[in-house]
Amino acid sequence: MTDNEKQPRFDQRLREHFLRRRVLVLDGVLDDDNGAVLAAQILSLASEDPKRDIALWIHSPGGSVPAMLAIRDVMRLAPCDVATLALGLACSAGQFLLSAGTPGKRYALAHARVLMHQGSAGIGGSAVEVEVQADDLRHTRDTVLGIIAADTGQPIERIFADSLHDRWFTAEQAREYGFIDHIVDTFEQVAPPRAHPLGLGARA
């Protein structure tokens, strides 16, 4: 079977199944398209029921910085809590969203791995263009690292130093660092709630 013939591993039907249970899944690279969908879904679910938690499950190598910032913004705007869970891999943007969950409701499976780094971007063009791009990159870097410091409780100086090179964390190390609050050890900690009979995406 060729790659083109393979069925999606996480298809739309399965996504809708979890959406009815207020569970969103970031599986794979975060890009501007799926980032906009996740942000819109958080806003929609929060509007539908501002008191019930939303869960964001993460298995991602990272991706778009604007998308991850937009998702965090709506997570903070939402009146309901947003619990996060690292399924297997939470790298870069995945790590950022994992630690952005509601304090006390950030989880990782026992063998999940977390990666923090500053990321990189190509810079080119004229001297003026390079200077403008460099200023924008510094602003974005400082914004992202400042948020990680706030979400983890670590000093900004430590976040900056630790992010200069790829730094991997086990689930236990991620908890000690402040990316998560709990390592999952019971099914009840992460079990999706039953679908609301009139919930978003429920069949009439």
Residues annotated catalytic, as ranges: 92, 117
Enter the DSSP assignment of 179: S
The CA-based angle 75-94-50, given to 5 degrees, is 20
User: Can you list the positions of beta strands (E) in 42-162?
Assistant: 54-60, 82-91, 106-108, 113-116
Question: What's the burial of 164, exposed, middle or buried (CB within 10 Å: 0-12/13-18/19+)?
Answer: exposed
Is-contact 94 60, C-beta < 8 A?
Answer: yes
Position 88: which residue type?
G
Name beta bridge partners: 58: 26, 86
Question: Collapsing DSSP states into helix, strand and coil, what is residue 113?
Answer: strand
